[in-house]
Structure formats: structure tokens, C-alpha cells
Amino acid sequence: MNKALARPSQQAIPAKSRELTFDKLTGMNLTNPTHYLNRELSLLAFNWRVLQQALDPSIPLLERIRFIFICSNNLDEFFEVRVAGLRHNLARGDTKPSLNGASTEQVLREINIRAHELVDEQYRIFNEELLPKLAQESIQFLPSHEWNDDQYKWLKKYFKHQVMPVISPISLDLTHPFPRLVNKSLHFLLHLHGNDAFGRDLEYAVLHMPRSLPRIIELPDNVGGTKAHNFVYLSSVISEFAEDLFPGMEIHGCYQFRLTRDSDLLLEENSIEDLASALKRELQSRNFGAAVRLEVGKSCPNKIVNFLLQKCNLTADELYRVDGPVNLNRLMSLPELVERPDLKFSGFTPKVPADMVRRGIFEVISEKDVLLHHPYQSFQPVVDLIRQAAADPAVMAIKQTLYRSGSHSAIVEALIEASHAGKEVTTVVELRARFDEADNIELAQKLQEAGVLVVYGVVGYKTHAKMTLVVRKEEKSKKLMRFVHLGTGNYHAGNARLYTDYSLLTANQEICEDVHKVFQQLTGMGKVYELNQLWHAPFTLHKNLLKAVDRETKNALAGKKARMIIKLNSLTDQSLIEALYRASIAGVSIDLIVRGVCCLSPGVEGVSENIRVRSIIGRFLEHSRVYYFYNDGDEKLYAASADWMERNLYHRVETCFPILQNDLKARMLKELNMMLEDTEQSWILQPNGEYQIQSSAKPKQKVQQLLLDRLSR
């Protein structure tokens, strides 16, 4: 599954020698496709690693099943965005090869092979590994042929009163052509025989299942049977009682299917006067983009499959036969329906630093920087910063970026309270946060109605930076003082319990001035400011990263110790990969912690022998971005909102902020090294693109659990 695309023989790259200089290094051609991995296939490999968590016996059973659902949801987005994008490229004749030299046709062919392997393995694990183990724990899914009389009667009544009133069968004839089917929704195609009430001889009908209908139904205790929890798939209920929808007609078959459609929004922003209105219009069509995948039940006859493929304008390569429900991620509610704490991760209480409990947040931050590592440490101080700012009469202004926050968050309510209190409140709301566009439009309207100044950012550049600026007049000095929050994650309290991210709370004058200038750029469309401490995209982040990597390279060439640790979600930018290759050739020791996509190929002789890449998959989604440079002993450590991807570096507003306080710097570096010592959750990337689980003779060490034990106590 994780093997790379077949490649031509590798071109030799000169090894490090005494005569090697930086000029010679920069003159090397490091663009050979054999030195790179494909982005889409790397993303599929990530989903394979996620799926493998469902086989890990050290993970509680109901948590293992969540990884099945997460993998299913990730695959949906992969087809909606990545596969759809490749098909767009093919349609418009874009023949530019990927970094590893593969054409669009080659990549799509390889995706077809690996995605089918992944889906087959997903259902195999679900059916053969997890369902039997659930049954052993008195949690079972009952197929229709196992229903007893009481269960049958109860489900028939459920169908009549809970399902039939909300579904509308659509017959297919000359006056009812094949309907437009909603993206990712459960549908059924019924094969019929007989005449309806109007004398029409019908052969097919389509049933659309509204999202309001639960995909799994728990039987009540009095009809459930011997197990503590007895569930039935909605698809089983529909198949069993579909004839009630077509009285007097014969049902020859009832087959579940599901379409995945192109869901990327294409907006010509330069020609749009009202971005919010344009997005609203575009969102209405998202559910009806071009089809990219058809999922059908395993038993669906070829005649029906061919009919659906023809109606959806898809080929056999885009067909996925599945051995179970066609939408596994809609079963995500299962762990919440089962009260079995012994089958779930143990709960924890994120820690709030003691001095932030005893004293006011502005008092603490004015004395020292505060570094929070979520979810091990609480997100509450970030919420409290806004809440206290809203209530504090000395606070004059609040500025904040909002990318994914949810329209019903405590932070949003605090911003509204601040506006009602007469404070100057400015928010930069990124309407184009993928799949959160509707929520962000609602959020922007809610804030505007409360008198908040809402800015949509810069045309052509998503505002992905996570930053808050509070301006406060000090009581004694009457001077204005600024307080800042900078983060690697979103202002979403729910995500802060699931994603690992860093937050920095600071009153450092230079950082606060930098954040002020970035807000000026966003709201005032001013000039490019020179910043003191922050690196920011699309202006200085990329060039400063190149400078930092090249500085390590020069130090290594001079015989000095040179070291980098880079933690990211994704690494795809070719210029930075080339810089890392030059550093490796020069002898720099490089550790990359890349959760998802990685186009760099480590361990290639003469090119990347000094680079190691690991992906950490565990209970929490590794989301923080951290950059460490040894810098000849003057160690530099940064946290950032940006991955090393083209979109982050050139097409987004991002911030990269230094950790200046020595104790915080030492702590963050220690946590990075803990990740490098993990022996339980780390997958090591091989030169050919395969990932192998970390094996070590050292005592077992699960880094997320260690951090949980250390920071949440």
C-alpha cells in the first residue's frame, strides 16, 4: 500500500567532500524526480497509517473503531478535493508532471490501485477484526436474517413512523429522469416490476436518505435480545421494508449506493464584489459537482452497477464495491451510544498553569510569556484572554483572526460582549476555510450584527494566521500596553481537545508591534512592513526559512555542529526540500516530524542520508508546526501556523513566531526530543515511500501518553 510510484534508476549525486562549498552545493541539480515522493500517494499512505490504528490492541476497542471512521472521512475529502483536482488538470490539458515525475494519468492510475486496496482493507478490518470483538463485548449489529419476531415488528413500526414520513421515492421514467443526487448521501436504487397506480410500468426507483435519519438504530432492551447493545443498520431496514413504499409492485432488489462529488469551490475573486454572497451561491452547487466516485454494496448486480455508472458518467475504475455500509463515517455516533468507559480512552482534565488560576491573565502575561501545549494544557486561558478583555474597562480594542472557530463558541460570544461594551472589536474572518464556509458566513453575519468590524482578508490570500491583539490602558501609567496570543491551531475549543497545538501568550513589545503591523496589512491593505520578530507569509516566511536552513548548511561546511528539527503537517515545497537536501549533503543532522504528506525522500545515498522522517499517529491529531535550528549554539525555536507547502508560503497569510523565553524554549525542545524518542506511535519513512512502524530495543515510550501524564496533572 505504501510503496512509491515506480521510478527510473536514481541519478548519482556527489557526496560531501572537503572541497565541497556552499556555492557548489547551490549549483547542484537536485530536481531529479527520483528524489521526490508523490503528494497524493503520500496522502493515501497517511490514511493507511490512520487505518492501522484500528488494529492496535493497546487502543481501547471503541477508540479503534473511530479510526475506521476517521479514515473513511479522510478518504471522502481526498476524492472531493485531490482526485477532483487531478481530473480538472486532465480535462484542461495540464500536463505538468508531479515532483516525482509522474504524469496526471499515472497518478490517477496509481490512486485507483491504492485507494481500492485501502477501502478493501478498511472493510476487512471492520468486518473481521472489530465487529467480532464488539460482539464479544455484547455490542452487535444484527443482519435482517437474524431478527426475531419481536425485533421484526419493532423495526417495521420504526420504518413506518420514523422513516417513511421523511423519504420520497422517485420513480424513473420518461417524465422522471435520473435525479441529481446529493454529494455523499446514502441512496438506494430499487429494481421494480409491475404497474403503479397510474398504470406505468416501472423498472427503477431511487430513494434518498436524508441526513436527519440515523444510520444505525439501537433496539430497545425489551426487544434487543441477549446482548447489551443491539444495533441495526438503516440500510438493512430500508432493504427489508422497501416494498411498503410501492404497494402492489414486486421488489426484485434494493441496492445501497453513494456518490462522491467534486467539492472544491472555484471563485474568480478579483471579479467578485461581495465575497460572502458569491460564496453562498457557490455553496448551493457544492453538493452537485461532477461525480468522482461511486460506492455500491458488494452484492449489487453488474446490471445495476453499469446503470449507475452510466447515469453518473463514471468508469469502472471509479467504482468501489464495499462489504458493508457505504458510508462508514456516518457510524461515528456508535462510541457515544455505548456507555462503556472501559472501551474508551480514559478521561483527562487539561491543566491550567497555576499562576493563571490565582491571578488575572493580564497581570501574568505582563510579567512573563506563557506557553500552552494543547490538549495536554487547557485552551481556557486563551478563551479567558478574550473574556477578561471584554469585561475589563481598561481594554480599548481587540483584534482577532478567525479561521475555524464555530459560530457558537465562547470566544465569539466574548467578542460580541466586548463590542456591546463599546470596545473597538475587529475580526478578520476567513470565509474560504474549506468545508467551513457556511459556518464562517454565519459567524461573520453574527459578528456584524453585534457591531463588530468584520474584514474578509485579502483577495487571493487566505488568512490562516492565528493571532489576537488586545490593547489595554494601564491604570497606573496610563500608557497603552498590548497583549498577544499566537497559535499553531484554530480558535476552536473542540479542536483544542483533539489536536496538538501550541499557544503563546505574550506582552513582548516587539512581537506585539509585529502583530499590530500584520493586522494593519490585513485591514488597511498597507505596505509590506518590516517586522522585528515574526516571519510572515506571503512576504518573509519562505525566504527566512531558506536563510535558516542555509545557515545550518554553511555551519556544517565550516565543521561546526549543525542540527534541525522540523515538525509539520505536510512538506511539499520543492525549494525547501532542495535546501534540506543541500543541508543533508553538507552533513547537517535533520529530523523531520511530518504527520501527513511528505514529498521529501529520506535516506537517499548522496542526497538525504542525514535526514530522518517520522509520522506520529495517536490519540490526538498532531497539528502543531515547530521549527528548531541549532544556529551554532544560539538556538532558534519557532512555532507557526504554516506548513511547508506552496499554498501556505505563497498564497496565505501566515505567522511564524519565535519562542524567546529560555525556560519555554528549553521545554519545547525537550518535548520535540520526546517525539523523536517515541517507540510506539512513530512511523519511519523509507527512501521508497513506504512507512514502517518504529521498532526499538529501548523501553516502550508513547509520547502522547507521556505528555498527557506530564502536562495534564
HSE-CB of 585 using CA atoms within 13 angstroms: 28
Cα–Cα distance for residue pair 183/193, rounded to 1 Å: 29
In whole angstroms, what is the distance from residue 660 CA to residue 370 CA?
11
In degrees to the nearest 10, what's the CA dihedral of 93, 649, 640, 434?
-40
For residues 601 and 38, give the distance between their C-alpha atoms in angstroms, rounded to a whole number: 10
464 is catalytic: yes
C-alpha cell, 78: 481526498
Mapping DSSP onto H, E and C, the string for 312-355 reads HCCCHHHEEEECCCCCHHHHCCHHHHCCCHHHCCCCCCCECCHH
Residues 90 and 104 sit within 8 Å (Cβ to Cβ): yes
Q: Which residue in 35, 373, 374, 464 is the catalytic one?
A: 464
Cβ(4)–Cβ(100) below 8 Å: yes
C-alpha cell at 219: 433496539
Cell of 523: 485591514
Residue closest to 226 by CA, chosen among 326, 142, 118, 333: 142
**Helical segments of 140-188, H only:** 149-158
Q: What are phi and psi of 203, to 5 degrees?
A: -115, -35
CA distance 279 to 49: 35
For 403-458, give the secondary structure using H, E and C: CCCCCCCHHHHHHHHHHHCCCEEEEEECCCCCCCHHHHHHHHHHHHHCCCEEECCE
Handedness of CA 617, 618, 621, 627 (dihedral sign): negative
Which residues are known catalytic residues?
Answer: 464
